[in-house]
Structures are given as C-alpha cells and as structure tokens.
Chains A and B, each alone.
Chain A
Amino acid sequence: GAVVSQHPSRVICKSGTSVKIECRSLDFQATTMFWYRQFPKQSLMLMATSNEGSKATYEQGVEKDKFLINHASLTLSTLTVTSAHPEDSSFYICSANDSPGSPLHFGNGTRLTVT
C-alpha cells in the first residue's frame, strides 16, 4: 500500500529558530502533497497544498512566509517553520496520493514544541 513517511516525529526548538519537516512518499510518486496542522483534540486543518515543481497553494489565514513549503521532487515535500514561536507548537501532518482523486494517505506526523 501507499506509504507516507514523515521526519522527524518530534522536534523541540527554541523560539526564533527555524525547523524543517520532511515528507516522503516511499512507494509511489506524489505530484501533490498536503500539509495539515492539528491542535489537541481537534480536527485536521489544511494549511497548504504542495505541487511538485511549482509554488504551494496556501489556505486562507496561513502565513506563507512563516510556513515555507518546497516540493522539489515527486517523492519529497518539506515544510519549514521559520522564526518559530511558542504558538507554532502543534502537530503537523503531511499527506499524499498517487493521482488526483485517489485515496489520501497520511504520514505519522511531527510534534513541534517551541520553547
């Protein structure tokens, strides 16, 4: 089955630093990957849609300069949280499918804690 790998699973960083999260599709090529944010006991909130070789599409209210997304290959997308602050602490999850309209598969998420 389709496997999406996310790294790291947990990261702690100091306020003001940047953190990069990687999302890889292991056994399929993903022209599109999605980045979600999830607060405790809440649903998933789509942050942006990442398209290979082009700029990401951000959802309303998501700061594109704070959450930099790069989708340089068909199997890798990265999310960089720039100048992180404690309010950026959250669970970030990526997902991908192998073709438009096919089932969406999720990574195991990254728990970001900003101190």
Chain B
Amino acid sequence: QQQVKQSPQSLIVQKGGISIINCAYENTAFDYFPWYQQFPGKGPALLIAIRPDVSEKKEGRFTISFNKSAKQFSLHIMDSQPGDSATYFCAARAGFQKLVFGTGTRLLVSP
C-alpha cells in the first residue's frame, strides 16, 4: 500500500510534443505529490508538486493532473525540449512521513 506505481519506464517524444508520465497509488493517506527531475550524475530537483485539494497545477510547461477518485496523478510536459531529457520521479507522502518514490521514467526528447 506504500507503493507508487509509475509508467512508462521510458519515453521518447519528438521535440515540441507532449510528454505524459503517469503514477498511481493506493494509500489514501497520501496528501502531497511532488515530481522530481534528475539529470545523470545529479541529485533530483523538485519540479512541481500538488496536494489533493486541487485537480490540476501548472507551472510553465509543466502540469500535474490529479484524480483523487482514481488515485492517479500525472505529469504533462508541454512543448517538450531536448533539454527536458532526464529521469522523472513521482513521489507521495502522508503527512510528515517519509517520501515514497515511483520507479522513474527516462524521457528522451528527440531533436
């Protein structure tokens, strides 16, 4: 129940396209859902986060869609650029407890 399932494992998108990464969870106590971006050899960087009281949050080209009833949330990257090529991790947390990470999605944006 503590798991966060992430898909796809890898994704190739053309430059200018939309990248979509999905995550699903079981623990209804989760109340914080961040997305992290990680480049090779670097630590994860917080990209955007959402709480379950809203269904969507947008920051620039990055949007989180949240479906509380389905217990799913997704990251949309609009107008994907080669510089967006990285590994993306979704995560979830219940209150002050530890962050639970998804398995990661390797995104490649082709020029």
* Interface size of B as a range: 20 to 34
Q: Is the CB of B41 within 8 A of A109?
A: yes
Q: How many residues of A contact B (CB 8 A)?
A: 21
For B12, list chain A residues within 8 Å (CB). Answer: none
A-B contact pairs, 27 of them (CB 8 A): A6-B43, A34-B98, A42-B103, A42-B104, A43-B101, A43-B103, A43-B104, A44-B89, A44-B101, A46-B98, A93-B44, A95-B43, A101-B32, A101-B93, A101-B95, A101-B96, A103-B34, A104-B34, A105-B46, A106-B44, A106-B46, A107-B43, A108-B42, A108-B43, A109-B42, A109-B43, A111-B41
| Interface residue ranges, A against B (CB under 8 Å) | 4, 6, 34, 41-44, 46, 49, 93, 95, 100-101, 103-109, 111
